[in-house]
Amino acid sequence: MLLSPKYRFLFVHIAKTGGTSVRAALERLRWRDPWYYPMFLCSRLSHLSGHRIATKLPRHAKVIAAQELLPKDYFDSLFKFAFVRNPWDLQVSSFHHIRRERPHYLGGHETFDAFLRWKLDPERPYQYHLDTSITLQSDYLIDLHGRVLVDFIGRYERLHEDFATACDRIGIAPPALPHARAAKDRKRDYRGYYNDETAGLIARHFARDIEMLGYQFDPE
């Protein structure tokens, strides 16, 4: 999550949706923000306390966390936005990220099929890096009553165009988006990773995202 008091925006960072590139582009604005240094100090205090005091909005916090921590009038005045991604594609990206960065979290399941079945097994013990990527994307966007709290939902599939739209709403020229790292060994089309069974696993687990965000396995 990225908050800019000067530019009055709140970016809700959902993992594996291009958010790292968006953060990198927008963080350059922080140097022009007079609140940068107080916020940096609060961030350090949060870290030193083991994050036991509410002085920092976590990187992948849900928008409801900001709603609860910030004054209502201030929260309502912010332009709040996020990016989402096709759930089938997101899980392929997550698999390659974990295999590249944290292979010990694979749990001995080296193929995409085996890892996905294990990952979505409700009996599997909780592991942060796995369960962040199986949290519904819609959970990051809504309050406890299911009302959408963000003002704009961009899509990974048209990242540059929707980022430009968000920047227009903020009132800035769009900074260049850094290129995100791509897995060298992943197939270009996520659909090649799935069979009917594993595609159905995603359809069931992420049913609310698919309905709310309008995704499907075979895009039109």
**Among 29, 87, 23, 31, which Cα is nearest to 59's?**
23
- For residue 128, count CB atoms less than 10 angstroms from its CB and return exposed for 0-12, middle for 13-18, buried for 19 or more: exposed
Predicted local confidence at residue 47, as pLDDT: 60
Predicted local confidence at residue 218, as pLDDT: 87
Residues of the chain with pLDDT under 70: 31-56, 180-185, 220
Report the b/e string of 61-73 with b at 16+ CB within 10 A: ebbbbbbeebeee
Predicted local confidence at residue 80, as pLDDT: 98
- pTM reported for the whole predicted model: 0.86
Torsion over CA of 61, 67, 69 and 75, rounded to 10 degrees?
120
What is the Cα 82 distance to its own chain's centre? 7
Residues facing residue 12 across a β-bridge: 82
CB 128 within 8 A of CB 56: no
Predicted local confidence at residue 182, as pLDDT: 58
Predicted local confidence at residue 181, as pLDDT: 57
Q: Whole-angstrom Cα distance, residue 101 to residue 13?
A: 19
Predicted local confidence at residue 58, as pLDDT: 79
**Among 179, 152, 155, 180, which Cα is nearest to 166's?**
152
Q: Whole-angstrom Cα distance, residue 65 to residue 59?
A: 11
Predicted local confidence at residue 56, as pLDDT: 64
Predicted local confidence at residue 114, as pLDDT: 95
Domain 2-213's class? Answer: alpha beta
Predicted local confidence at residue 5, as pLDDT: 86
What is the Cα 60 distance to its own chain's centre? 6
- Residue spans of the domains in the chain: they are 2-213
